[in-house]
């Protein structure tokens, strides 16, 4: 086998260039040496959606889209879903190792003592219309936290970064629950440190007038697993946004608000909400063939299907699908489940979907579980943002440790007008 390098011949000049290959990549900046003449700026790569561009070196999450492999810090997602808790997995993503019992106890204590929200942030949440989309409220509240913790702007301080991480992980659950309570017109439930992270979240969401709220253990376990599955997913759209904003040394609350905004899109984390809206629009199993025809004509998208990386199956979807049956035993099956199963049956066999490698992704099944838990569709993406905040902050912390961290500033291909002189308004033509 030859050397780890490319030999490039520029046919414009006959010049040859040796470009080293490292970790299966070439450094795009090495292409700048390839010039057609001395005036030339040098070659750029053009990859608008970053389809084939690595933007980070990360030790947090490993994905293999062909084989459907997902590992957090080397641990298979299937094993974490079966044996871990969301708090333990959060520790793993942040610190890189599974905690000892003592470390986990301290971690859970630290997080539980940051769950209270500053009254300014609570008042901001309550200032939104009750009908505001919970993700708009979530993004606004997260951004506001940056104004309450000025120490967050010292992004060079290692201890400050960990403190913000603990605050964020703790407070996103409180904020998420408060967005739901606002929507429902119910008073906020303050956190209860006696309960674990997920139990406390369920209590903040669902406690009404009962003095002692006891979370349903099946639902508490299901949410733990869903939160584990949603915690990180390497350089997805929202995590890349977190890194881009963080690269300017903005505080982590501002960066996380941007990441949450990216997640809100229906092509990303907003898909779980879009799946339920799609199923409700289809309305009945007998309407599925007609909807499939619309998708094939390009008139509709099969929300919850397809993935930029997974080209066989999304391992998270497989786990969630199995878990859905346990939840439905407690909650009763989702009325839209039959439609979902028929869509899945067709998509897994119909060549239009198979040829495009469109398989159910994590968002396809999670919405069915949340709907079976009587959660309103518009809270589903908040249920994604809460656990993904761990991945966002872990990736931000990893980036902030880099010695050669530089602000992200891509180039462009200019396709606009050439130089031209200003035209006085009286001389302009429509």
What amino acid positions are annotated as catalytic residues?
Answer: 268, 307, 363
Cβ partners under 8 Å of residue 240, min gap 6? 50, 55, 262
Cα gap 100→103, rounded to integer Å: 5
Minimum gap (Å) between residue 154 Cβ and ligand SDX: 29
Collapse the DSSP code of 57 into the 3-class scheme (helix H, G, I; strand E, B; otherwise coil) and give the result.
coil
305 touching ligand SDX, by CB under 6 A:
yes
Of the candidate residues 133, 181, 203, 307, the single one contacting ligand SDX (CB under 6 A): 307
295 touching ligand SDX, by CB under 6 A:
yes
Of the candidate residues 143, 200, 224, 236, the single one contacting ligand SDX (CB under 6 A): 236
Cα gap 357→359, rounded to integer Å: 6
Tokens for 43? 């070659």
Measure Cα distances from 323 to 99, 197, 229, 329, 429 in Å. 26, 20, 12, 10, 65
304 touching ligand SDX, by CB under 6 A:
yes
Minimum gap (Å) between residue 287 Cβ and ligand SDX: 17
Minimum gap (Å) between residue 93 Cβ and ligand SDX: 13
Cβ closest to ligand SDX, residue 40 vs residue 293: 293
- The mark string for 131-170 relative to ligand SDX (x by CB under 6 A, - otherwise) is ----------------------------------------
Cβ closest to ligand SDX, residue 279 vs residue 303: 303
Minimum gap (Å) between residue 85 Cβ and ligand SDX: 20
Positions 344 through 403 that interact with ligand SDX (CB under 6 A): 356, 358, 361-363
**Structure letter (DSSP) for residue 15:** E
Positions 215 through 234 that interact with ligand SDX (CB under 6 A): 233
Collapse the DSSP code of 275 into the 3-class scheme (helix H, G, I; strand E, B; otherwise coil) and give the result.
helix
80 touching ligand SDX, by CB under 6 A:
no
- The mark string for 176-215 relative to ligand SDX (x by CB under 6 A, - otherwise) is ----------------------------------------
Cβ closest to ligand SDX, residue 35 vs residue 268: 268
Q: In this chain, which stretch among 33-41, 190-198, 264-272, 398-406 interacts with ligand SDX, using CB under 6 A?
A: 264-272
How many C-beta neighbours within 10 Å does residue 21 have?
12
Minimum gap (Å) between residue 163 Cβ and ligand SDX: 26
Of the candidate residues 268, 277, 311, 313, the single one contacting ligand SDX (CB under 6 A): 268
Minimum gap (Å) between residue 301 Cβ and ligand SDX: 4
Cβ closest to ligand SDX, residue 182 vs residue 302: 302
Largest CA distance in the chain: 81
Cα gap 73→89, rounded to integer Å: 10
Cα gap 386→86, rounded to integer Å: 11
Q: Which of 359, 363, 362, 337 is nearest to 347 (CA)?
A: 359
Cα gap 179→205, rounded to integer Å: 9
Collapse the DSSP code of 61 into the 3-class scheme (helix H, G, I; strand E, B; otherwise coil) and give the result.
strand
Q: Which of 57, 20, 144 is nearest to 401 (CA)?
A: 57
Which residue number has the CB closest to ligand SDX? 306
Minimum gap (Å) between residue 109 Cβ and ligand SDX: 29
CB–CB of 166/145 below 8 Å? no
271 touching ligand SDX, by CB under 6 A:
yes
Cβ closest to ligand SDX, residue 115 vs residue 224: 224
Q: Is 134 exposed, middle or buried (0-12, 13-18, 19+ CB in 10 A)?
A: buried
Cβ closest to ligand SDX, residue 35 vs residue 71: 71
């Amino acid at each position: 086998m030859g050397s780890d390098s490319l030999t490039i011949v520029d046919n414009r000049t006959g010049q040859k260039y040796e470009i080293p290959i490292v970790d299966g990549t070439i450094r795009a900046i090495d292409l700048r040496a390839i010039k057609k003449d001395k005036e030339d700026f040098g070659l750029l790569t053009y990859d608008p959606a970053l389809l084939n561009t690595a933007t980070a070196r990360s030790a947090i999450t490993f994905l293999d889209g062909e084989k459907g492999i997902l590992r957090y810090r080397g641990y298979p997602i299937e094993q974490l879903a079966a044996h871990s808790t969301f708090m333990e997995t959060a520790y793993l993503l942040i610190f890189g190792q599974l905690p000892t019992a003592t470390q986990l106890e301290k971690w859970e204590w630290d997080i539980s003592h940051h769950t209270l929200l500053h009254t300014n942030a609570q008042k901001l949440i309550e200032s939104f219309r009750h009908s505001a989309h919970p993700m708009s409220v979530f993004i606004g509240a997260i951004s506001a936290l940056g104004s309450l913790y000025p120490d967050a702007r010292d992004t060079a301080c290692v201890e400050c970064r960990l403190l913000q991480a603990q605050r964020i992980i703790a407070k996103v659950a409180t904020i998420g629950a408060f967005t739901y309570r606002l929507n429902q017109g119910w008073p906020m439930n303050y956190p209860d440190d006696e309960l674990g992270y997920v139990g406390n979240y369920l209590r903040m969401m669902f406690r009404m007038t009962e003095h002692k709220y006891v979370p349903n253990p099946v639902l508490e376990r299901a949410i733990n697993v869903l939160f584990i599955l949603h915690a990180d997913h390497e350089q997805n759209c929202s995590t890349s946004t977190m890194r881009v904003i963080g690269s300017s040394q903005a505080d982590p609350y501002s960066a996380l608000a941007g990441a949450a905004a990216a997640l809100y899109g229906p092509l990303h984390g907003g898909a779980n909400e879009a799946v339920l809206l799609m199923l409700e629009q289809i309305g009945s199993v007998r309407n599925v063939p007609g909807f499939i025809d619309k998708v094939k004509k390009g008139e509709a998208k099969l929300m919850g299907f397809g993935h930029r990386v997974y080209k066989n199956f999304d391992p998270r979807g497989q786990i969630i699908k199995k878990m859905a049956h346990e939840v439905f035993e407690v909650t009763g099956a989702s009325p839209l489940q039959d439609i979902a199963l028929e869509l899945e049956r067709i998509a897994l066999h119909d060549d239009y979907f198979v040829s495009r490698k469109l398989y159910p992704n994590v968002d396809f099944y999670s919405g069915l579980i949340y709907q079976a838990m009587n959660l309103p569709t518009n809270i589903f993406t908040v249920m994604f943002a809460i656990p993904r905040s761990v991945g966002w902050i872990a990736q931000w912390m990893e980036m902030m440790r880099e010695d050669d961290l530089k602000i992200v500033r891509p180039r462009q291909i200019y396709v606009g007008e050439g130089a031209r002189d200003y035209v006085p308004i009286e001389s302009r033509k429509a």
